[in-house]
């Protein structure tokens, strides 16, 4: 009797063991995935306003709060570390609370520095701000500066 069902019992135990192994493997993968996400979250490492960005090594030059209009251009420099995956961010420029421009900038892993610039005109004098936000529109940082004589 026992010999007759021995084969089926063996098959059942094998099936159970298989199911257990599959579950453990899935759980471990999921945990690793969560851990990876936390460690590799897109992080803004540096955000400054500057007169220009050196193209060679992507470093901001003459970081400042106030920019004379005669320099002709002002840039918003932002550096992200880490960048877990290819994504994009936004630089939204506001002049006296009125939206001026919205620049979409691509980021490449593992770290990336990028910037947006505007050409200055006589009418651009006054207080400005740049809102840096991620692809979902979550606000990451606000930079405030002024364009003066």
Partner 1 sequence: MSFFASIRWQDIIDILLNSYILFRLYVLFRETYVFRVLTGLALLWIFQRIAVFFGLILTSWVLQGITAVAALIIIIVFRNEIRSVLQAKNLKAILWGFPQKSVPTTIQIIIDSINALSKRHIGALIVLPAKEDLKDMVQSGIPLRGLVSKEMITSIFWGDNPVHDGAAIIEGDRIAEVGVILPLSYRSDLPSHYGTRHRAALGLAETTDALIVVVSEETGKVLVAKDSNIEEIYGNTDLIKILQAHVGVYEEENGYQQREKFKISIAAIVSVFFITGMWFSFSKGFDTLITLEIPAEYTKRDPRFEIVDASVHTVRLDLTGSGALIKSMQPEQVQVKLDLENAVVGQNIFSITQENITLPPGIFLRKVVPSVIEVTLDETIKKEIPVQIDWVGELPKGLILSEIFFDPEKIEVVGGKRILENLSTIYTEKVHLESMKISGTMFANLALTPAALKIAPGSKDKIRIAYVIKPRIE
Interface contacts to partner 1, rule CB under 8 A: 61-66, 68, 97, 126-127, 129, 142, 144, 146, 148-149
**Least distance to partner 1 from the beta carbon of 117, Å?**
17
Give the residue with the Cβ less far from partner 1, 4 or 70.
70
Give the residue with the Cβ less far from partner 1, 91 or 129.
129
CA distance 57 to 75: 16
Give the residue with the Cβ less far from partner 1, 42 or 78.
78
Helix (H, G, I), strand (E, B) or coil at 136: coil
Give the residue with the Cβ less far from partner 1, 49 or 79.
49
**Least distance to partner 1 from the beta carbon of 61, Å?**
6
Pair of tokens at residue 130: 């740049």
**Least distance to partner 1 from the beta carbon of 68, Å?**
6
CA quadruple 80, 84, 86, 89: dihedral positive or negative? negative
Give the residue with the Cβ less far from partner 1, 76 or 83.
76
Helix (H, G, I), strand (E, B) or coil at 121: coil
Largest separation between any pair of C-alpha atoms in the chain: 101
**Least distance to partner 1 from the beta carbon of 113, Å?**
18
DSSP track, 55-97: TTTTEEEEE-SEEEGGG-EEEEEEEES---SSEEEEEEEEETT
């Amino acid at each position: 009797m026992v010999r007759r069902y021995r084969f089926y019992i063996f098959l059942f135990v094998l099936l159970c063991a298989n199911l257990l192994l599959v579950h453990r493997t899935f759980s471990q993968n999921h945990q690793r995935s969560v851990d990876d996400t936390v460690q590799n979250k897109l992080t803004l490492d540096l955000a400054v306003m500057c007169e220009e960005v050196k193209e060679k090594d992507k470093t901001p030059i003459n970081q400042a709060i106030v920019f004379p209009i005669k320099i002709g251009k002002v840039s918003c420099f932002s550096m992200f570390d880490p960048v877990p995956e290819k994504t994009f961010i936004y630089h939204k420029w506001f002049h006296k609370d009125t939206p001026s421009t919205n620049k979409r900038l691509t980021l490449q892993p593992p770290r990336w520095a990028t910037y947006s610039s505007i050409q200055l005109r006589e009418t651009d004098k006054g207080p400005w701000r740049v809102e840096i936000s991620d692809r979902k529109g979550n606000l990451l940082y606000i930079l405030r500066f002024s364009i003066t004589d």
